[in-house]
Structure formats: structure tokens, C-alpha cells
A and B are shown apart, each in its own frame.
Chain A
Amino acid sequence: MSEDQQLRVSKITEGTVIDHVTGGQALNVLAILGIDGSGGEEVSIGMNVPSERLGRKDVVKVEGRELSQDEVDVLSLIAPAATINIVRDYDVVEKHRVERPSEVVGVLQCPNRNCITTKDEPVDSRFAVLEEGVRCAYCDTIIRESIADHIHVD
């Protein structure tokens, strides 16, 4: 990221910068991470920022919160090129890529209305991650396109 682009979104002192998010997916990234502002986190996002690698990309910065690998790997479903930068005292102390998890729990809502996970039961949705798409561990429904449309929102 050039200095110029860096300035489009304010620098953070401590926290996580999620860079190289597929253009237009920033709000879905926040939805998946369960960040809606109600927790008081300082969040800034840049959308459709010019990027050499992606053409256009989104950037999400979360102040005061270091996201774990497990938390961010689920982002690979909607932003496979995302990079994660952990910032402490203005410095990037860790930088890594998202990796496809073998399953995602509690993140997506099964589109099958006859699936037990869509009812009032004490069970989290659970999807196995396939080469292409994801499959409900309970009813076997496969989601292949527009996975972001199935993000679980309370």
C-alpha cells in the first residue's frame, strides 16, 4: 500500500487492518466478524480504493482489537485475497493471509427453510467448506454462489 492510499483511511495505533478485501465486501467483512459498532470499537473502512493487485479493494481497520486466525479465516469465503495486519504502537507486528477453514460455525444461515438450524433450537449453523462453496453439516444443502448473501445476522 502506498503512503498516499494509506492516508485515505486513518492509521490506527493498536488493532487489526484487513487489507486487500474484495471490492465492495467491507460491510460483509464486518458482518461476519460480528462488528456492528455496538461494541464501541473504532472502525474505519475504505471502499473501492485503487489497488495494483485487485483493481479495486476495500480496507477495514478495527482499533483496539486483534483478530485471531480463526476469526479471520472465515473471511476467505468472501475475500480470498485478504491480508491481515496486526498493529501495535503504529507498527505492523504481524502480517498474514486468510486461509480457507475446513468448516465455518455460526457465520452463515442455511438457505433451506426446512433445515433444523433455521429453527429455534440451541444449535449453531455449521458448514463444511468445499473446494467450491460450502455445505450445511445438518441438511447437506450446498451454497455455491453469493455466499455473502447467507451471512447470519441476528
Chain B
Amino acid sequence: MPQDHIISAKHLSRADIESVLDRAAEIAADPEAVADRHAGQLLGMLFFEPSTRTKMSFSAAMKRLGGDIVDMGPVDQSSVKKGESLADTVRVVEGYADALVMRHPLEGSAKMASEFVDVPLINAGDGAGQHPTQTLLDLYTIRESAGFSDLTVGIMGDLKYGRTVHSLAHALTTFDAQQHFVSPESLKLPRGVRYDLHEAGASMREHTELEEVLDSLDVLYVTRIQAERFPDEDEYRKVAGEYQIDAETLAAAKDDLVVMHPLPRVDEIAPDVDETDHARYFEQAHNGVPVRMALLDLILEGNL
């Protein structure tokens, strides 16, 4: 097995990604076929910061494979509160489960934790770092709705702090997608990410206005711009307002443009977009279950 931990989308080859997406499509087409496949197996859930949605999605995935979960519970009721190191926590917990899912507020925590355990560990988000399962479900949604051939993707919003964006951009590079990054000047892609994308041979451009590229896009991936990134409320409103879309904005887009968002959204996509054929963000969220089922299945079988 070339890798048994899933730490970063960057470390997944195109073949790895395709095997997860293929398996997800098989599972989505016939979920009954895998309903007992992992009976008796346990997934350890280590959520060092709350993320109800990701946790529910992993729980649903493991249970729909016939397995079950064991949950560390909230941090304030665990040994972590007493000052236990992460390295110790994961070494104890690996004895309770066949695989681990971890979310942690510090960057690099998943990589470090994986160095201390023998069971497969899946990174469900490490600070502003990586979130590979979000990337996999994003890619699955793109493949199912737009396909990867001759693909042009626009990624808009907070490109500086948004981990989903960095992870997705790396993966799209392996699929030779044209990428347009649309953001305010202050929230452009960080230097490290841009460096890696260039190294990987990405075909990419950066923009400050969506109009410059909207009509060329097959997919528009919108992320939230958070108020705390700005010195004051006025500045935030002014800047964030320029990166909100509604049905009218999308009149200039291709008819089959797919609009995605990792959710939750606040006001960056107006509710009137929900009624258009462009909206694909709820489907995207639902895709988290078959994609995580596929990933868990491959990992527990040692097939990734």
C-alpha cells in the first residue's frame, strides 16, 4: 500500500483520487451492496475542535458500511484537558479502533499524529492546513456535474486562509484544470501555495474581479470571506460585497456553469441562486457520505 494515512490532498496521486471517486460512484449507485461490508469494525473519532457536520458525515459513512464509531467526545471532557500531548493521545486511542479520523486546530497535527500510529489516520482538517476529504468530495461533485476534460474552474473568496481552497487547487492541478483565483488583494493565495502550484505546473491566473473570467467558467467555487480578516466592519462590508453572487450575476455565465460552496454560507451566494440549475452546493454536501464511505472502504481494505 503506497500510503495508509490520508493527510493532505497534495500527497494523493491522480490514480489514488480516481480510485476513490470511482469507488464512491459505485457505492452511490448501489449502497445496499456495501451495507455490511465493514461490520464489526470501528472508526475512532478525534475531534479536538468542533465540526459537527464533518463528524456527522464520517459517522454516517462508517455506519452505512456496517461499522461503528468510537468517539473521544469533546476536548473539555478528555485527557487532553489535563495536558496530555497529542502524540500520547493518538497512541492510546489507536488501540480502540481500526482507523482514526482527526480534526485538530493546529497545522501539521495530522501529519505528526500519523507518525505515531499504525492504524490508518484520516485528516479531517488541521487548522488552516489541509482537509483532504473535503477536496475529494469537491472533486467528486465536479466530476459528476462538469467532468474533468477541458475543465475551467474559478475559485473565489478567501483564498488566503481557506484550507479547502488550497487543497482543491492542488488536486485540480493534477487534473490539468485551468484555474482562476478571484479574491480581494488582501486575501490572495499565500506564497507557499502559489509556489507549490507553480512547481506542479498549474495553469492558473489571479484576478480581483469575477467579471473578468465568469463567462469562461465551467465551475465557480465560492468560499466565505470572514469579517475577522478585516480591520473594521465597514471595510469588510465593502470588500466582501464585491464577492457575493446572485441569480443576476450568473446571467453572464455559461448555461451549464456549476456553482459550488463548502457550506455553511452566509450571504456570499444569494438564496435566488438556489432555484437556478447552477446550484450544486447541497448535492456537494450530500456527496460527502459516499465519498467518505469509499475512502474508508479503500483504507480499511488496504487498497489505497
Contact = CB atoms under 8 A, between A and B. Distances in A.
Interface string B171-215: 000000000000000000001110110000000000000000000
Contact of B129 (A117, A121, A135, A140): A140
Contact of B112 (A112, A120, A121, A142): A121
Nearest to B7: A138
B192 A140 contact: yes
A142 B106 contact: no
Contacts of B87: 121-123
B28 interface: no
Interface in A105-154: 112, 114-117, 119-123, 130, 135-142
A116 B107 contact: yes
Interface in B102-126: 104-109, 111-112, 115, 126
Sort chain B's interface into a size bin: 20 to 34
Q: Which of B87, B112, B127 has the most CB atoms of chain A within a 10 A radius of its CB? A: B112
A112 B107 contact: yes
Contacts, number: 55
Nearest to B8: A140
Interface residues on A, range: 10 to 19
Contacts of B85: 120-122
B107 A139 contact: yes
B128 interface: yes
A33 to B, nearest CB: 26
Contacts of B86: 116, 119, 121
B28 to A, nearest CB: 32
Given A121-B112, A123-B112, A140-B129, A115 B195 contact: no
Contact of A116 (B108, B128, B192, B196): B108
B111 to A, nearest CB: 5
A139 B193 CA distance: 11
Nearest to B196: A140
A82 B97 CA distance: 51
Contacts of A120: 85
A114 B127 contact: yes
B38 to A, nearest CB: 30
Contacts of B127: 114, 139
A130 B192 CA distance: 11
Contacts of B196: 140
Contacts of B129: 139-140
B112 to A, nearest CB: 5
B164 to A, nearest CB: 15
Nearest to B115: A123
Interface of A: 112, 114-117, 119-123, 130, 135-142
Given A121-B85, A137-B108, A140-B129, 18 more contacts: A114-B106, A114-B127, A114-B128, A115-B107, A116-B86, A116-B104, A116-B109, A117-B112, A121-B86, A135-B192, A136-B108, A139-B108, A139-B129, A140-B107, A140-B193, A140-B196, A141-B192, A142-B195
